[in-house]
Structure 1
Amino acid sequence: MSIQQCLTAEVAAMSELASLLKSEQSALADGDMDALSETTSGKTVLLRKIAELEKVRTTKMTALGFNGKPEGMKDYFTQSTDDTEYCAMLWEKLLSISEQAKEDNRTNGLLINRRLSQNQTALNVLGRGGSTGSLYGPTGQATVNTGSMKGMVPR
């Protein structure tokens, strides 16, 4: 596999991941747990594939005498071969898609945190029995929650 082929495959995989992150964002906003489950498994597969492709590219770069890190890519592009200009374009596209995917992933993390916070608030309300502080006991009779309540002075 050539550097160009590696970059082409990486761009395709990263584009797929970016699209999946957008789908995840919609699923989070809509509360669609089935779609969310699908996106999670798809992300795992794609992240593995991207890591493998990056490893192949790094190995190829090292074999060609270049540093496998991003700085080495810039050195590779200074060569005057036929495909380096196209590879440079692919590299820039990969970096751009990766940056957008990173931002979408950050946004999804914020959505997840907000959803978790809402769920925790709902659980807290249910655990306290709502604003009145009472719950129905096993006998069907209302019982008062005797747990400590901050800011309340017992009488």
Structure 2
Amino acid sequence: MSETNLFPSKLHECLLEELSAMSFLADLLKTEETALVATDVATLNNLTQAKSQQLAALSILEKKRQFYLSHMGYSIDAKGMQDFLTTQQVDRTISENWEKLLDVSASAKETNRTNGILINRQITKNQGALNILQQNNPAGAMYGPNGQSTNKSSSGRGFIVG
């Protein structure tokens, strides 16, 4: 059996890996959503690296899927996958797994959109708090470029301890 004949089964294996990886990313995004609502900074910090790693893994799997589609003569996009599924005599589970991957991806995309809204709300809230704090300071900024307070409460005379 030639390597090309193995591509449909390799594509299905890749699809299963991609579905698993996307499901894991969707779970991470749901955890992120919960942490954003709870303002759980520690969890959010931990999720950043995990999400990056998962996105890198998904990118590799997508390229792998594209490789198999391309070498079987299909375009490397979603239409190519649909063409493969409709023109080949493939097991029904391959089509089902592709549909699951599309569904999980859409769900993850929506959760990511929601998380973006939550992040923007928090940024707006923080900016509002900073604006309130800066209103009490006639000079504007509370801290200078060196990180030191620009408010000088003393008269400029220091204390000498002797």
Normalised by the shorter chain, which TM-score bucket? 0.7 to 0.9
For normalisation by structure 2, the TM-score amounts to 0.78
Residue pair 1:3, 1:87 contacting (<8 A) in 2 also: no
Residue pair 1:11, 1:93 contacting (<8 A) in 2 also: yes
Tell me what 2:127 maps to.
120
Moved over 4 A (4+): none
Deviations 1:70-124 (A, max 9, x none): 11111111235343x2111111000000000000000000000000000000011
Tell me what 2:51 maps to.
43
Structure 2 matches for 1:53-132, cutoff 5 A?
A: 53-83=61-91, 85-129=92-136
Q: Give the % identical residues.
A: 39
Tell me what 1:152 maps to.
none
How well do the aligned residues superpose, as a CA RMSD in angstroms?
A: 2.1
For normalisation by structure 1, the TM-score amounts to 0.81
Deviations 1:28-76 (A, max 9, x none): 1111111001111111001111011000000001111111111111111
Task: Give the gaps of 5 or more residues in structure 1.
Answer: 142-155
Structure 1: distance between partners of 2:90 and 2:119: 46
- Number of corresponding residues: 137
Tell me what 2:160 maps to.
none
